[in-house]
Chain A
Amino acid sequence: MNRIQRGRGGWAIEVGGLTRAAGVALLVLGLAIGGCSSKKNTQEGAGLNPNPNGLGEGGVGSGGGSSLNQMQNGTLGANGGPLGDIHFGYNDATISPQDNGVLKANADYLSAHAGTRVQIEGHCDDRGSEEYNIALGARRAQAAKDYLATLGVSGDRMSTISYGKELPLCTEETDDCWAQNRRDHFALSQ
């Protein structure tokens, strides 16, 4: 008569639109983390349960050093790392001239550390719809990637991701706070 739902989370995963072998491999991976999901997984902070799929676009892996990883650890914004953030105007993805120096420094760091990779994260302020902001953040990340490419950083060392307005550095409804949140963050990995 109806569908009664119970349980929570931790489901097995099928993969759509993939090859047979990859599908089965990922299914097994999914089962490794799936199955008996108990209360411990629901407690925030305890056991961060990083997903094993690790399919970050540029191979940044399981989120290490990313803003999402920092949010999980409660350290978002606390540790900037060696690469500087750049900032944007409202609903805009244009690189601002005053950020040219930051991008040059970031490019210099990357050329001096040949074994590193960077995931460029686009972020937005909290005004506007979440989905539009994910697309806007993607545009911001791409703008920095294109700029770094013109400074000689190889494309295969860079990946991009957008977090939209999901990972704000501050939450006040002020111009200052909004300006801080409209940013590209550069997450370094080996």
Chain B
Amino acid sequence: MGVMKSIVALIALLFLIIPAAACAQDESRETIVPGAPPASTTLPPITISAAPRAQPIAVSALKNLGGDDAHRVSESFGKVLMRDLTLSSFFRILNPAAYIEDAQNSGYDIGQFNFGDWSSLGADYLVKGSATRDGDTVKVEALLFDVPQQRRVMGKKFTGSPHDVGEMARRFADEILKSATGKRGPFDSKLAFVSTRGGRFKEVYTSWLDGGSLFRVTDNPTINLFPDFSHDVSHLLYLSYKSYSPELYLADLDRQIETRINPGLGQAVGGTMAPDGQIVASYQRGGRTNLYLLTPSGNLVHALTDNSSINVSPSVCPDGDQLVFTSDRSGTPQVYSEDLDGGNAHRVTYKGSYNTTPAFSPDCKQIAYESREPGGFQIYVINLDGSGAQRLTQSGSNEGPTWSPDGRYIAFSSNRGGGSRIYLMRARDGYIIAPLTEGQGNESNPAWSWWMGD
């Protein structure tokens, strides 16, 4: 089978080269031209209101140490960093128009600038740094300062291509959260979701969590649903009706080749990826929908459920030992947990008559799910043992919760603003931070990836 896979991959690659060359002139494609200025970092125009008790932080421009004369590196880095710090709800950005110091005419490390220029603005924290560009290589050094204590807190050096500047900022945002709160932030990660922004049809998209680098994964006028990233964010599993029968596909995002998952268990209903690359999928045959553990290439390992009920919406905890799912074996859809080896099934939810789409928290201790209430669905969080259920959303109808890799946030879809959009909230108290999408068409099925980097 391994040899077979290699041969198939080789043939696929050979064929891919030809159309890729033919498409080189397609302006809709993002191409890397060596020496060209970095692509502008486009982020969706969303409104993020500053969270209560958010700490004031100043994000200064990066000092140009050579090659960044038009300040494109500085602007891309700053734009992404400010977006992510605001989305964290820990910080509010002090308006750059009010900054006194000229970043290009002062130093950027301790002793080379005046903290008074920043304390007078009320800054608790300050980001400064430098940018160097030489051909296709960009170097960014970014530093975090505690302004009241006039102290350098942390510094990082990044090297990459012009296209990597956004990710440098995302990684630095995560480091700032680690310095300020003791726990790494979640912004070096991707969001997959379903959107009708291309027309009537539901298509799968990915972007950075902050909305940068929007990428359309599917392009077929049928129905595409339930995207879910592999743990290493290299693959995306999704359900599609593109063959006019519902089937799961595993897309290799790097090679842009996909595998049709076909274990011969009936029609696919949905699926998720386990941390080790195996797939947990629901298939229906004869009106019975059961869950199965599959290998990454789609062969059956073993059945996880075997009954005449509906068993759907699996979510595997990152330690890889357990899953949660929805089953109506009690007569109504409820959340259950089970070991991935197929034993130890427990019912988790009892309150309410319709509890679905469970999502395991990254620490495997909590489950977010949606519960039907008068007027719509609301997101709840409950402990794995069924205790401590807490309602997080209050308005509109809210569905499909997905956790950030650090466990601090939950993204979900909601119709609270009219059409369905993806929103970000804090997991601990349900504080709504912002919509993550700008609401072009209806958006649903959010899936938050693990961290891109280590």
Contact = CB atoms under 8 A, between A and B. Distances in A.
Which 9 A-B residue pairs are closest in the complex by CB-CB distance? A9-B219, A44-B199, A142-B287, A16-B298, A35-B19, A17-B298, A36-B19, A63-B244, A135-B289
A56 B244 contact: yes
B167 A141 contact: no
Contacts of A55: 243-245, 247
Contacts of B144: none
Interface residues of A, number: 75
B372 A31 contact: no
Interface in B4-19: 4-5, 8-9, 11-12, 15-16, 18-19
B400 interface: yes
Interface string A154-176: 00000011110011000000000
Interface in A3-55: 3-18, 20, 23-24, 26-27, 31, 34-39, 41-45, 48-51, 53-55
B390 to A, nearest CB: 20
A135 B222 contact: no
Contacts of A93: 287
B244 A11 contact: no
B217 A130 contact: no
Contacts of A45: 199
A14 B219 contact: no
B257 A12 contact: yes
Contact of A16 (B160, B163, B198, B262): B262
13 contacts: A7-B29, A8-B217, A9-B219, A14-B258, A34-B16, A35-B15, A38-B23, A51-B243, A56-B244, A132-B328, A139-B289, A162-B269, A166-B202
Given A138-B287, A161-B245, A161-B246, A132 B312 contact: yes
A166 B11 CA distance: 36
B31 A44 contact: no
B294 to A, nearest CB: 8
Given A14-B260, A128-B372, A34 B287 contact: no
Interface of A: 1-18, 20, 23-24, 26-27, 31, 34-39, 41-45, 48-51, 53-57, 60-63, 66, 68-69, 71-72, 91, 93, 127-132, 134-136, 138-139, 141-143, 160-163, 166-167
A8 B161 CA distance: 22
Given A14-B257, A16-B262, A51-B244, A129 B220 contact: no
- Count chain A CB atoms within 10 A of each CB in B254, B257, B300 and give the residue with the most: B257
Main SS of the interface on chain B?
Answer: mixed
B431 interface: no
Interface in B294-344: 294, 296-300, 310-313, 326, 328, 332-333
Interface of B: 4-5, 8-9, 11-12, 15-16, 18-20, 22-23, 26, 28-32, 159-161, 163-164, 167, 198-202, 206, 213, 215-223, 225-226, 233-234, 241-247, 249-251, 253-254, 256-264, 267, 269-270, 282, 284, 286-287, 289, 294, 296-300, 310-313, 326, 328, 332-333, 354, 356-357, 370, 372, 377, 399-400, 444-445, 452-453
A167 to B, nearest CB: 8
Given A48-B221, A93-B287, A130-B225, 11 more contacts: A1-B167, A20-B4, A24-B8, A27-B11, A35-B19, A51-B243, A55-B245, A132-B326, A132-B328, A135-B310, A163-B241
A78 B250 CA distance: 35
Contacts of B243: 51, 53-56
Contact of A132 (B20, B164, B313): B313
A16 B263 CA distance: 8
B27 to A, nearest CB: 9
A4 B208 CA distance: 11
Nearest to B164: A1
A27 B356 contact: no
Nearest to B247: A55
Contact of A15 (B262, B269, B311, B333): B262
Nearest to A16: B298
Nearest to A55: B243
B213 A13 contact: no
Given A35-B16, A60-B244, A3 B270 contact: no
